[in-house]
């Protein structure tokens, strides 16, 4: 259909077929449609056995030169290929062919397929999962992606509102803190941006060293800023002592620990 050679084929948990070329999702979907149309047409699968002198009578695919009798498998109007594998007598016996994934490997495209009972089991599982998600989102099963996209956007909007509120609250506290040489401030569910805003405000007020520790969903986050301490020189030891991971420079460092 697209002029690409099949350069690899393996049957295991999935059927894997490698093609010498760059196949797009749209191209693969078109091939899948045509393959299933051939299955529904229940075409006859023919075997042709021919001697070396007779092979020239046929136009067929073969990866190697074959000595002796050649077995050619033919589906009229679709393909003719030298093959030693097992075949059904009619295409309808396959039932269905479903592409489940594809990947690019160099200048090749590897396509993963399922057929027959395995394809049915796979599609049935997909349908069951889709039905569960549909009920959770109160969405039409055929419009799940749109519902998930809307949910994702609402989550992003909520995150944005949370960050704004978190920054407003922590900045209000920063403005009310008296002048000290150094301070330690603890917060609940403040993100790094809000913590840095707090530290920056305190440093600008004249506080020389500021550390913020915030509880989050997985543990604790910290931000430290200083005008008098070389934070880069103490970062490794500091993180080791509290089993944290983080980075920074001479004036600011941040990280997290559990």
Helices (H) and strands (E) in the chain, counts: 5, 12
* Mean pLDDT, residues 139-143: 92
DSSP string, 64-87: S---S-EEEEEETTTEEEE--S--
pLDDT band at 62 (very low <50, low <70, confident <90, very high): confident
pTM above 0.85, yes or no: no
Spatial separation of the C-alpha atoms in residues 136 and 27, rounded to whole Å: 34
Q: pLDDT > 90: what percent of the chain?
A: 77
The domain 6-141 having CATH identifier 3.30.980.10: the answer here is yes
Using CA atoms, how far residue 138 sits from 53, 141, 145, 215, 252, in Å, is: 66, 9, 13, 34, 47
197's CB contacts (< 8 A; 6+ apart) are: 167, 170, 171, 174
Enumerate the domain spans of the chain: 6-141, 156-257
Check the CA dihedral 111-112-114-120 and report its sign: negative
pLDDT of residue 41: 96
* Mean pLDDT, residues 20-43: 96
Longest Cα pair distance anywhere in the chain, in angstroms? 100
pLDDT of residue 45: 96
pLDDT band at 172 (very low <50, low <70, confident <90, very high): very high
> Can you name the residues that pair with 75 across neighbouring β-strands?
79
Question: How confident is the model over 85-109, as pLDDT tens digits?
Answer: 889 999 999 999 999 999 998 889 9
pLDDT of residue 63: 76
* Structural contact between residues 72 and 80, judged by C-beta atoms closer than 8 angstroms: yes
Q: What CATH number labels 156-257?
A: 3.10.310.30
pLDDT of residue 133: 95
Report DSSP state, residue 219.
Answer: S
**Tokens, residue 75:** 């589906």
* Structural contact between residues 184 and 211, judged by C-beta atoms closer than 8 angstroms: yes
Spatial separation of the C-alpha atoms in residues 187 and 213, rounded to whole Å: 6
In 3D space, the residue among 232, 226, 230, 228 whose CA is nearest the CA of residue 246 turns out to be 232
Question: How confident is the model over 230-248, as pLDDT tens digits?
Answer: 999 999 999 999 999 999 9
> Can you name the residues that pair with 6 across neighbouring β-strands?
19
What phi and psi values does residue 214 have, to the nearest 5 degrees?
-130, 135
pLDDT of residue 31: 95
pLDDT of residue 237: 95
pLDDT of residue 65: 81
Using CA atoms, how far residue 188 sits from 15, 130, 162, 195, 222, in Å, is: 51, 37, 12, 11, 12
pLDDT of residue 42: 97
Q: Do strands 46-50 and 15-19 pair parallel, antiparallel, or not at all (unpaired)? A: unpaired
* Mean pLDDT, residues 40-46: 96
């Amino acid at each position: 259909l697209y002029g690409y050679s099949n350069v690899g084929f393996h049957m295991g948990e999935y059927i894997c077929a490698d093609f010498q070329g760059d196949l797009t999702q749209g191209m693969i979907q078109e091939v899948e449609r045509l393959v299933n149309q051939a299955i529904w047409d229940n075409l006859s699968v023919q075997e042709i056995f021919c001697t070396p002198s007779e092979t020239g009578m046929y136009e067929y695919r073969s990866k190697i030169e074959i000595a002796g009798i050649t077995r050619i498998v033919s589906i009229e109007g679709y393909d003719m290929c030298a093959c030693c594998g097992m075949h059904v007598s009619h295409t309808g016996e396959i039932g269905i062919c479903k592409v489940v994934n594809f990947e690019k490997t160099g200048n090749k495209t590897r396509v993963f397929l399922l057929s027959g009972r395995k394809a049915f089991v796979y599609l049935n599982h997909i349908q069951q999962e889709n039905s569960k998600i549909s009920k959770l989102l109160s969405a039409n099963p055929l419009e799940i992606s749109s519902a998930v996209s809307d949910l994702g956007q609402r989550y992003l909007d909520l995150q944005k509102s949370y960050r704004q509120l978190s920054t407003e609250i922590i900045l209000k506290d920063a403005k009310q803190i008296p002048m000290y040489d150094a301070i330690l401030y603890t917060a609940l569910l403040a993100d790094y941006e809000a913590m840095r805003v707090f530290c920056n405000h305190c440093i600008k007020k004249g506080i020389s060293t500021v550390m913020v520790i915030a509880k989050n969903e997985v543990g604790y986050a910290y931000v430290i800023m200083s005008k008098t301490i070389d934070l880069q020189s103490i970062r490794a030891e500091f993180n080791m002592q509290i089993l944290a991971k983080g980075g920074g420079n001479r004036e600011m460092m941040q990280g997290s620990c559990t």
